[in-house]
Structure 1
Amino acid sequence: MAENGLTRVILLNRLVSLSTSRAPPDQIPPTLAGRELIQILQHRREANVAIEFLGATDDEDEAVRLRNGAGHSFIRLSQIRVSLAGDYAYATLLFEHVDDTVRSFPVVNTMTYAGREIGGDPSEWGSTAAHMVVRFPVESYDDGNYRCAVEPHSPITRSLMQTFLSRQLRRYASSVELSFDATVQGKRDRRPKQVPYRFHPKLELWADVGRGMNLVGGKGTVLSHMLFTKRSEVQSIHHGTTLSHEEVVADVDIKVSAKQGPEDADARRSWLADVRKFFEQKGYKAKLYYRHAGGGTLSGGLHHSIEGAADIFMCPKELIALTLPPKRWQPDINDEIASKMKDLVDKDQLWERRK
């Protein structure tokens, strides 16, 4: 640690590449490699569309979406840098959150104790910046699962980063009409045929690794069950023989109790991640319910401050020492922070499951 003791908390996560579509459950869309997804984000940043407005009316048309976002808080991909080192590529992303409610900040004179507000121009709002570093294989097999270090800096939480990345990739997929050919049976002749289905890639942050991670049982909360939901799912109903049947559209809810998992903590974490991935690849939306020590179950959205605190509590975390005091905002990628985050990503013992 540096002599001045200045440190910053970094969260360790897995960044997972997935794809979703409305194709039949047995027809899984292709998963794009992480480096390809980073290139997509890089092109969108260069085109000045790597921005998501919070609370604004959305629209598929980029020009309309940007007009609708005027006057709203937003998060954008400020910078992105990709470097090669040995067998891996490292992508460093700098996120910037701009808050429309922060127009000034107070200062106090330490000699007279007189205070005043310092404000900017009407178009200048308060801002926060945070880094993310992801490691991708260059030549070896890419399984869509990458080591990732996240610098939490409220209101930029890991959930907000994940939402931003997935929305940006969805917008790209819609603009180029990304699709794949699925093999389905015809309704009349029952012969298999190729049908194109639109799909879109997404990136998720999974906190299922590390020495301090306890996904299913800690001091205070224990996972109760997982609920997987798919709206307007087509279901076949058979009558007597397979020659007589009909199809109906229904909302499907599948509840999986956490008690069904293995007793061993490490095996249970792996089991939970596999179950969630299985259903989400089939188009189901996942919601996790935790049982509090008092007996009740908790779910739903959280304020970003509470969500940020929950990230620190739940995710595996490490401290990095800085030579200068950490800043809330910076215009460019901080080389020192990025380098030390890369060191954490490369440190194998931090990514081993607890015994």
Structure 2
Amino acid sequence: MASEDTNRQIRPIAINQSLSSLQMSSREAKHSFGQLAQRLNSEGIQIDEQIAALQQMIVFTSSSMDNIQSAYESSMIEAISGLLTRTQNPHVKQLCRAIIMIISVLGGEKEEQVDWTILSASLLTLLFDSDTGVSDAGKTTILKMMKLKEEFIYGLLQIGILDHSAEELIKISSDQMQISTSQEEVPPSQLITMNILEVLDKILNAEQIKFFKSIKLISALQKIKNEGLTREMKRKAKNIQDLLNEDGQAEKTEIDLEIANQRIATLEQQNQTFEEQIRQKDQSIKTLAEEKAQKDQRIEALTQENTQNEQRATIAEGQVQTLTAQITQIDQKLNSLILKIH
């Protein structure tokens, strides 16, 4: 038993050391990602260790585009995909799917091709997870992604994070009434609620972000204001509710129109880029065609010159043969004269 307990203590330390080493060069990061991937798939590793490692992994990976690219170029996706197919634990599955989504989408696709709604939905499931550690990882990753790419915030709004959060908060509140905990123990529902509120607060306070007044969310926040377990929770709920009432758009269609306009602007910019690429390629084709025409002319001139040279050579060969025949005749006459003289 002592040996097993010791191993359980060593494994998280090894995982933490692996993640710390990822702050080095890109090459070292890829190697460390590979080592960590092997560790996740090693026999005997406990579920809680897998979850802890995956939590740290997703948070670190989402910290920068360099980290995402390093993870993409390592064996991380294959290793986590293998873990995903083997595990039966729902929390491990959620984390695996989210990590694969981040790495494959942001590491393997051009930015203009990224579907931010799919990525947002994947991370939102982590935020709402019943495991507080997974929810923490979801919250931290979402906040990091918001700093990393502004488009991610629009993705969250597009998938309806306000209404989805309202539904989750109402569900948590209902479940909380049925679960009793000791006064010294912080209930998981409280931690998850605070995670959701923190994310909502960051989204609604983001610069140049437009959002609609979610009646569902306003109602859910009112319930938290009245029945929240802590003063901090009630204060956070009030602040978010005030933001919705003061800055929220009256109609969701206004948000949809704004998003549509942004999408149109993006597509127009992409179209201009494509047109410029086409223009450059057309110019390249024109240049190559001109070069080909010049070379064809040169080939034709050389061919004509070669033909003329061949004709001259043929004539010269005929002259040589004629002269050779004449010389032969002269030699024969000389020989005849010499014989007569003797």
TM-score (structure 1 length as normaliser): 0.23
By relative contact order (CA 8 Å, sep 6+), the higher-ranking structure is 1
Greater strand share, 1 or 2? 1
